[in-house]
Each structure stands twice: as structure tokens, then as C-alpha cells.
């Protein structure tokens, strides 16, 4: 049986709402996606990037407290986070445009 996203260590009600906006409703769904794919979905849904939130998610999925991330591990996570953010900002389409594309609808350019 699964619970809300906030059933994962370090995540609370705000995480439930943010992940729901990204289409992730349960802790099992989040676990199945993994930290990087789930965080990428958050960014795609319009969430602002926040490094501490990212590594709190990574630590929580490992069952560790959010502040357990230090040294070389934190440096490596920062590199992953920066890469996720770079990919998210490199995407030319907005959330609305991606959704319109998914539905097969294209907005006409304005003149």
C-alpha cells in the first residue's frame, strides 16, 4: 500500500502539493521515478529550482535525514542538480506549450 509523497522522509505537505502539480501523487510513484526524474518533472511543472529541496529528496529516498548530505557527496549532488536545471531551462517550450503539443494543438504565432 502506498501513501502520499509526504510519507517519504524529509517531505511534507508542500511536497505533496508540488509533486501533485507535476503529476506524481504517491510515494510509490516518486520512488519508482527516482530523485532525478521526479525533480525534473517538478521543474517542468513550473517549480523553482532549489538545491536543498533536491538533496532533501535524494536523502529522503535513501531514508536519511536531509542534513546528512556533506562533502564529496554534496558536491556530486550539486553537479546533478545543476545538470537537471540546465536541461529544464534549455527546453524551448513552456509548460503550456508542452501540454498543447501533448494534446496535438499548436498555438498560432502572434503578429
Higher pLDDT, 90 or 43: 43
Look up the domain containing 68 and give its range. 5-103
48-102 pLDDT tens trace: 999 999 999 999 999 999 999 999 999 999 999 999 998 887 655 666 776 777 7
Would residue 109 count as lying in a domain? no
CATH of the domain at 17: 1.10.150.20
Q: How many domains does the chain have?
A: 1
Buried b (16+ CB within 10 A) or exposed e, 36-63: bebbbbbbbbebeeeeebbbbbbbbbee
Would residue 108 count as lying in a domain? no
pLDDT, residue 105, reads 76
Would residue 73 count as lying in a domain? yes
What share of the chain in percent tops pLDDT 70? Answer: 86
What pTM was estimated for this model as a whole?
0.78
pLDDT of 1 > 50? The answer is: no
Would residue 110 count as lying in a domain? no
Would residue 68 count as lying in a domain? yes
pLDDT of 30 > 70? The answer is: yes
Amino acid at each position: 500500500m502506498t501513501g502520499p509523497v509526504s510519507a517519504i522522509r524529509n517531505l511534507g505537505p508542500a511536497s505533496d502539493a508540488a509533486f501533485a502539480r507535476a503529476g506524481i501523487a504517491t510515494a510509490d510513484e516518486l520512488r519508482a521515478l527516482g530523485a532525478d526524474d521526479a525533480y525534473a518533472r517538478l521543474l517542468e511543472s513550473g517549480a523553482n529550482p532549489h538545491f536543498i529541496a533536491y538533496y532533501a529528496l535524494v536523502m529522503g529516498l535513501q531514508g536519511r535525514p536531509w542534513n546528512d548530505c556533506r562533502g564529496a557527496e554534496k558536491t556530486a549532488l550539486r553537479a546533478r542538480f545543476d545538470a537537471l536545471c540546465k536541461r529544464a531551462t534549455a527546453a524551448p517550450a513552456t509548460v503550456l506549450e508542452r501540454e498543447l503539443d501533448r494534446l496535438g494543438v499548436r498555438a498560432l504565432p502572434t503578429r
